[in-house]
Amino acid sequence: MQTSWWLWALVAVCTGDQFRDEAERIMRGTPVIDGHNDLPWRLLTMFNNRLQIERANLTSLANTHTNIPKLRAGFVGGQFWSAYTPCDTQNKDAVKRTLEQIDVIQRMCQMYPETFVCVTNSAGIRQAFREGRVASLVGVEGGHSIDSSLGVLRTLYRLGMRYLTLTHSCNTPWADNWLVDTGEDKAESQGLSHFGQSVVKEMNRLGVIIDLAHVSVATMKAALRLSTAPVIFSHSSAYSLCQHRRNVPDDVLRLVNQTGSLVMVNFYNDYVSCRQEATLSQVADHLDHIKKVAGAGAVGFGGDFDGVSRLPVGLEDVSKYPDLVAELLRRRWTEAEVRGALANNLLRVFEAVEQVSDHTQSPEEEPIPAAQLQASCRTMYGYSEAPSLHRQPGALLASLTTVLLGLGLL
Ligand SMILES: [Zn+2]
């Protein structure tokens, strides 16, 4: 009968709205903490980090997945902003570029204090929630940003870095990346080298979250085994639903469960459906799968907004988070499970990382072996084969004379 068809259609529409209303009610109390957003990289490539020019106004910023009105509409209450520098800066200006990306994040907080507040701990996130501001944290994406130096690692911590992704899409001299699993790169550290293990230990001591997005499966397992605190995957999805090596396989998901760790699901179409097109519902499938294998406490969101070129229909920008939450409610996720995925799981991991940290413990000091440092443009001060610090002009002249004599020029 025609009447009942309309009635059912009406019921369907009302139910749809109900889940959306319910999502908004939940998110007013527990906004989303997203694990990975590349807006700082966009600010570099679009404006060379000039925030004061007219087009860079974050209230009206166009052609990005992220701006202030979209963050507000999406109930984003916490954001790990990515301090990212590409792999081609490795052994070159990676540290400088990382510092500049941390600087642009901090200037965002300074310029828009009514929207952003830069925080460095879990209490700061909770306080930002109460104030209705976006808790802004620094995630450094790629171990090449520390340039194989524990001193740089510690200094980045002091500047606000609260997670470090052990690799981007390249090996560091101490950790292997996911391209090792596709055969495009060679395994060099078999997961983590001895120095890589020191990096992980030092991150535990400092209270920097270990991020395993982008690393090889061997590196995932080595870090999960070694870390005394839970870890995160700041923007990775489930391998068993889309066989892309950037995703997390089920045996690793079980380790995630055993260690109280967290997978923040990436929305990039290529990792969601292994195709150019994807849907919001397929993202929910990844969340369902991780919940099934690793538990509801292991699920989070790491959209990778402004870091990817293709996003699912229905999740086109950061304003769409309530639609994804409505879909989880439609799939009978409980309110506690949804609040966990939104923020509470990340807060639990972050608090555990803070508890494990111990600044009274002695820092790791053993430098990476000289032979493992790459690139010819670096100096080797501190290593035995390096020239002495107090080399005198006379000594320089003497060695110059030796060289010239050797060449038969004197
Ligand atoms: Zn990434």
Q: What is the pTM of this model?
A: 0.91
Evaluate if residue 292 carries a pLDDT over 80: yes
Q: How far, in Å, is the centroid of ligand 1 from the Cα of 91?
A: 19
In the residue annotation, 244 being an active-site residue is answered as no
Position 362 scores a pLDDT of 97
Q: What is the CA radius of gyration of the chain?
A: 24
Q: Give the 3-state secondary structure of residue 137.
A: strand
In the residue annotation, 235 being an active-site residue is answered as yes
| Mean pLDDT of the chain, nearest integer | 93
Position 6 scores a pLDDT of 53
Both tokens assigned to 116 = 């952003």
Q: What is the C-alpha separation between 303 and 234, in angstroms, rounded? A: 9
Choose the catalytic residue: 34, 211, 285, 304.
Answer: 304
130-164 as b/e: b if 16+ CB within 10 A: eeebbbbbbbbbbbbbbbbebebbbebbebbbbbb
Both tokens assigned to 231 = 């870890």
In the block, residue with structure tokens 């980045």: 156
Q: How far, in Å, is the centroid of ligand 1 from the Cα of 353?
A: 22
Evaluate if residue 137 carries a pLDDT over 70: yes
Position 402 scores a pLDDT of 46
In the residue annotation, 144 being an active-site residue is answered as no
In the residue annotation, 359 being an active-site residue is answered as no
Evaluate if residue 385 carries a pLDDT over 90: no
DSSP-derived secondary structure for 98-117: HHHHHHHHHHHHHH-TTTEE
Q: What would the pLDDT profile of 3-37 be if each residue is shown by its tens digit?
A: 455 555 555 555 558 999 999 999 999 999 999 99
Q: What is the C-alpha separation between 178 and 375, in angstroms, rounded? A: 22
Q: What would the pLDDT profile of 199-237 be if each residue is shown by its tens digit?
A: 999 999 999 999 999 999 999 999 999 999 999 999 999
Position 377 scores a pLDDT of 83
- Average pLDDT, integer, range 265-282: 98
In the residue annotation, 214 being an active-site residue is answered as yes
Q: How far, in Å, is the centroid of ligand 1 from the Cα of 74?
A: 21
